Amino acid sequence: MCGIVGYIGDKKAYPVLIKGLSRLEYRGYDSAGIALMSNEEDLRVYKRQGKVQDLVDFVDGMDIEGNVGIGHTRWATHGLPNDVNAHPHFSGDGDIVLVHNGIIENYDIIKKELIKRGHVFKSETDTEVLVHLIEDIKNNSTVSLEEAVRIALNEVHGAYAIVALSKHEPNKIIAAKKSSPLVIGMGEDEYYLASDATPIVEYTKNVVYLEDEQIAIIDRNNGLRIISISNKEVSPYVQELEMQLEELEKGGYDHFMLKEIYEQPRAIHDSFRGRLNAQEGWISLGGIRDFEERIAEANRIIIIACGTSWHAGLVGEYYIEDLARIPVEVEYASEFRYRNPIIRPNDVVIAISQSGETADTLAALKMAKEKGATLLGIVNVVGSTISRVTDAGSYTHAGPEIGVASTKAFTTQVTLMAMLAMMLAKKRKTVTEERFNTLLNEMEALPSKIEKLLESNDYIRGIAEIYKDAQNALYLGRGSSFPIALEGALKLKEISYIHAEGYPAAEMKHGPIALIDENMPVFVIATKGENYEKVVSNIQEVKARKGKLVAIVTQGDVTVKNIADHYIEIPDTDEMIVPILATIPWQLISYHIAVMRECNVDQPRNLAKSVTVE
Ligand code: M6R
């Protein structure tokens, strides 16, 4: 959580920081702040509860000069979202300012010690404790800012990405990270810092991803130097960004979420481009080629993820077990890591993550690594931490996803799961040639089928209009469409704040059926396939209790159309592809309901895109 930025160079820092914070606002948006420095002794901090725009309004008319600066957009962990708890935080003597993303777990013990030594704290944050600790070390040991930071970081536990300035060292920025991301952009005699590359890409494509427990010392006169917190010199490894600036703009859409829903044909095409060929009858995931044997022979595959990515893992479980006949377990990363799971040497652990930075997923991966498992990553953000700590993996290639509610990241994750299952099935000879070829053809046809489905957007908006005032909603699905019910419910909850639950359709009669009355919309996936008749029975049970039924049906369906209050047709396809297509109407329903309820679609309350705290 939280986004941090920094700049040092010849440009005016303020516009760079504000633009950068706006790009990072998806990471947290309850308060924002900046620190600017022109020369020695001139260190100004402006911070405000609210969004980056509230900060911009606040600083209107104030002194925003300076070629050096840092900024922060917050997702509160310690202390309410208010002006005082907003970052940057000053040291007690006003010499140092610091922005921080992460959690200092032992802040309370350090704070008590510092209070005994006369420090007075203004905020409730763990960050203020860290900047006071740095000040304490700097003043008592008469060391430079970087040395004080280094010593302090050896005393703290937890996660941090920090950027600090001292008004006595106006040509220098110090940054460090552990378990929270930090990227350094290398310009011509200028440097950018950010939680991810999105604020940097318009200025330079050359970046250094700081590794855990590394400290960057950026000096306007001497350039970039990296040391470890144990004081060893590290050579910066400069990489080139592949990201394009246009990917970060709304491109004429009202919201990033809608743009990202519409990007799905392209995103899915990118996720399988060069990895499968229906005409030639092959599938190959380059990133995991060296591990194919290992995965195909695994006793068990354990998928770990959070939120929407966990739903993609659940679909993956259906795919892999059905097609490749390897046992799969899907675990919430946050539970898995704390329950001393049994991991055998022949197990393969797959982490699924859009951001590649989710703290729980990362921690679960580290634990699995300690237990000797082979680690694979299915990740969207190129160069992210999960992509670097896993033994191998495949990028989903969805492109930057800015809307907090995951859309194209999810459908590309499911696409990757399908490809993995197909690749394993082929290798293990658990799929017939005919089915394999059908699946290859259906995968290739998927982008155009999604395009066709997106043509129903206005019609789906009409359905959303009818249910926009619902208090509750139930989502149902069977088999591999059950996780899509969960995902549909999550989408509705997170952006429109309507309570929604996802259930396996057959489970409804074991409890949730009690909720059904004439005010309860029930969203059901009732496409043609093995479970069709069973689902038809389930929806009859809904109608018998006067529930309002919105059904996703296969094009040409008659039976369900006659029962449901509203139906949405999806193009006919193999049953395995249905979950990907069926996701899209639920995304659009949630989107339109949220817009009609005047909710902040791209930045829903209390949420953040990248959850880098546990
Ligand atoms: O970046 P990750 O995929 O690891 O993130 C996991 C969840 O935080 C994320 O999917 C979250 O549930 C989204 N808000 C869902 O739309």
Q: Where are the beta strands (DSSP E) in 105-190?
A: 158-166, 172-178, 183-186
How many angstroms separate the CA atoms of 528 and 560, rounded? Answer: 10
In which element (H, E) is residue 613 found?
A: none
Q: Whole-angstrom Cα distance, residue 74 to residue 51?
A: 9
Structure tokens at 392: 């191998």
The rounded Å distance from CA 406 to ligand 1 centre is: 6
Q: State the CATH architecture for 456-603.
A: 3-Layer(aba) Sandwich (3.40)
Specify whether the CB–CB gap between 531 and 554 falls below 8 A: no
* 531, HSE (Cβ side, Cα atoms, 13 Å): 21
User: Are 3-247 and 456-603 equal in CATH topology?
Assistant: no
Interval between CA 313 and ligand 1 midpoint (Å) = 12
Average pLDDT over the chain reads: 94
Find the mean pLDDT for residues 440-456: 97
Q: What is the 3-state secondary structure (H, E, C) of 30-57?
A: CEEEEEEECCCCCEEEEEEECCHHHHHH
> Ligand 1: which residues within 6 Å by Cβ?
306-309, 353-355, 358, 361, 404-406, 494, 607, 610-611
Handedness of CA 129, 135, 140, 146 (dihedral sign): positive
Half-sphere exposure of 18 (CA within 13 A, CB side): 16
The architecture of the domain spanning 251-453 is 3-Layer(aba) Sandwich (3.40)
> What six digits make up the tokens of 114?
């510092």
Structure confidence by residue, pLDDT tens digits, 276-301: 999 999 999 989 999 999 999 999 99
Nearest CA, atom 12, ligand 1: 307
Pocket test for ligand 1, best of 75, 261, 355, 493 (most atoms within 8 A of CB): 355
Pocket test for ligand 1, best of 406, 413, 416, 603 (most atoms within 8 A of CB): 406
Q: What type of residue sits at position 549?
A: L
Closest CA to 178 of 24, 335, 362: 362
Active site residue ranges = 2, 609
Report CA-CA distances (Å) from 566 to 50, 239, 424, 608: 40, 51, 39, 33
Kindly report the number of other CB atoms within 10 A of residue 358's CB atom. Answer: 29
CA distance 503 to 495: 20
Mean pLDDT of 293-320: 97
Sign, Cα dihedral of 390, 395, 400, 403: negative
Q: Are 34 and 69 within 8 A, CB to CB?
A: yes
Query: For the segment 214-230, what is each residue's pLDDT rounded down to a tens digit?
Result: 999 999 989 999 999 99
pLDDT digits (tens, 9 = 90+) for 72-130: 999 888 888 899 999 999 999 999 999 999 889 899 999 999 999 999 999 999 999 99
Cα–Cα distance for residue pair 183/191, rounded to 1 Å? 10
Tell me, rounded to whole angstroms, the distance of Cα 468 from its chain centroid. Answer: 27
Mean pLDDT of 306-316: 98
Distance 373 CA to ligand 1 centre (A): 24
> Which CATH code for domain 3-247?
3.60.20.10
Q: What is the pLDDT of residue 301?
A: 97
CA–CA gap between residue 173 and residue 162 (Å, rounded):
10
Report domain extents, the chain. Answer: 3-247, 251-453, 456-603
Banded model confidence at residue 170, pLDDT cuts 50, 70, 90? very high
- Give the percent of the chain with pLDDT over 70: 100
Q: pLDDT digits over 550-561, tens only? A: 999 999 999 999
Residue located nearest, by CA, to atom 7 of ligand 1: 307
Per-residue pLDDT tens digits for 362-401? 999 999 998 889 999 999 988 888 998 999 999 999 988 9
